[in-house]
């Protein structure tokens, strides 16, 4: 793995914790030592010896050219190159690295506890390679293959989604404070409510819309609140605008990386 910060580290911890990878089977190339799971080797340069089974690019997108200049020759012929670099398309990777297959992956931070989302895209990977990459990603959470044209939208919804939900939790707590709850208690209540509701929705055999209706009896207080969120599609409109703005920015960054 080249670069191993917040996201690379989260993936690595879950891979090793779930047993899908042995710590001593992983080499990290980082600029400085970081706290990593015991047994993982970390160096400043590619280790000597045969090519690894797979290379994962997990540094910042702006480091792509520097990393390609340093390592592309030595990595030529590697079976699979997986990149989590936001906004960097498969073609941009294939132009810089000669790999049997290039797979673009978009994880989100809950991969660190096995409850994340990993979107995948590859036009170059054979079915057997796609299956192997999907199996590698499976312990991280939900794995979905997406069309390249939808990657910017998936990045907005799932990649940035945790940040949007953190805002929602804060807003829920602030709304409770506005009704007189102490701030720390409102924060705890909001967080536990979102956690429990998410787990319940994930386990339910009906969709979230039906679940909301089950909680809201006619004329009751939940219905009154839902009426506010639903009035003229207020919440849907707000989130549509949020995801659209984020998707547009992803597209702009992808265009800039294309050159």
Among 42, 63, 193, 242, binds ligand NAP (CB under 6 A): 63
Q: Which of 18, 22, 24, 31 binds ligand NAP (CB under 6 A)?
A: 31
Which one of residues 1, 21, 106, 117 is an interface residue with ligand NAP (CB under 6 A)?
Answer: 106
Residue 60 binding ligand NAP, by CB under 6 A: yes
Pair of tokens at residue 147: 């069309």
8 touches ligand NAP by CB under 6 A: yes
Segment interacting with ligand NAP (CB under 6 A) among 100-108, 141-149, 185-193, 223-231:
100-108
Rounded to a whole number of angstroms, the minimum distance from the CB of residue 72 to ligand NAP is 13
Q: Tell me if 7 sits within 8 A of 21, measured CB to CB.
A: no
Rounded least distance, CB 119 to ligand NAP, Å:
9
Find the binding residues for ligand NAP in span 134-173 (CB under 6 A). 159
- The binding site for ligand NAP (CB under 6 A) comprises 2-8, 29-32, 58-61, 63, 66-67, 84-86, 106-109, 159
């Amino acid at each position: 793995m080249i670069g191993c910060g917040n996201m690379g580290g989260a993936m690595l911890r879950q891979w090793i914790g779930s047993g899908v990878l042995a710590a001593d089977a992983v080499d990290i190339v980082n600029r400085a030592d970081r706290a990593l799971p015991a047994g993982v080797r970390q160096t400043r340069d590619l280790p000597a010896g045969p090519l690894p089974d797979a290379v994962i690019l997990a540094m910042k997108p702006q480091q792509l050219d520097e990393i390609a200049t340093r390592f592309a020759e030595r990595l030529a012929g590697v079976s699979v190159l997986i990149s989590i670099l936001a906004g960097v398309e498969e073609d941009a990777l294939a132009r810089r690295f000669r790999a049997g297959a290039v797979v673009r992956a978009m994880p989100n931070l809950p991969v660190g506890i096995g409850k994340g989302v990993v979107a995948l895209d590859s036009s170059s990977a054979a079915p057997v390679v796609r299956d192997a990459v999907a199996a590698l990603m499976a312990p991280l959470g939900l794995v979905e293959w997406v069309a390249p044209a939808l990657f910017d939208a998936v990045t907005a919804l799932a990649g940035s989604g945790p940040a949007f939900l953190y805002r929602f939790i804060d807003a829920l707590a602030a709304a409770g404070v506005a009704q007189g709850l102490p701030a720390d208690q409102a924060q705890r209540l909001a967080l536990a409510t979102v956690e429990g509701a998410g787990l319940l929705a994930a386990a339910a055999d009906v969709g979230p819309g039906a679940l909301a209706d089950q909680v809201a009896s006619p004329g009751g207080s939940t219905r009154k609140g839902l009426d506010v969120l639903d009035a003229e599609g207020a919440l849907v409109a707000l989130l549509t605008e949020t995801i659209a703005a984020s998707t547009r920015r992803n597209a702009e960054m992808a265009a800039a990386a294309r050159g």
